[in-house]
């Protein structure tokens, strides 16, 4: 069987709580801690 399904971890945005099912989620590291943010919240993150 060539049914190779990747196990995609369900990521959640730390800001708004949306999941990677609905919105692309980016992973980043801040002060040694791994964080997750969706593309909607990323601009807010950049602007502080
Ligand atoms: Zn978000």
Interval 2-44: pLDDT, tens: 777 777 678 999 999 999 999 999 999 999 999 999 999 999 8
Please state the φ and ψ torsions of residue 19, each to the nearest 5 degrees. Answer: -110, 165
pLDDT at position 3:
74
**Residues in the 5 Å CB sphere of ion ligand 1:** 13, 15-16, 38, 41
Angle at Cα 23 formed by Cα 48 and Cα 18, nearest 5°?
70
Task: Find the 7 Cα to ligand 1 centroid distance in Å.
Answer: 22
Task: Find the 2 Cα to ligand 1 centroid distance in Å.
Answer: 35
Task: Find the 36 Cα to ligand 1 centroid distance in Å.
Answer: 8
pLDDT at position 43:
93
pLDDT at position 17:
97
45 versus 21: which is more confidently predicted? 21
pLDDT at position 8:
66
């Amino acid at each position: 069987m060539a049914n190779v399904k990747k196990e995609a971890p369900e990521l959640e945005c730390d800001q708004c709580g949306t999941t990677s099912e609905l919105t692309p989620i980016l992973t980043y590291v801040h002060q040694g801690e791994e964080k997750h943010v969706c593309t909607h919240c990323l601009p807010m993150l950049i602007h502080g």
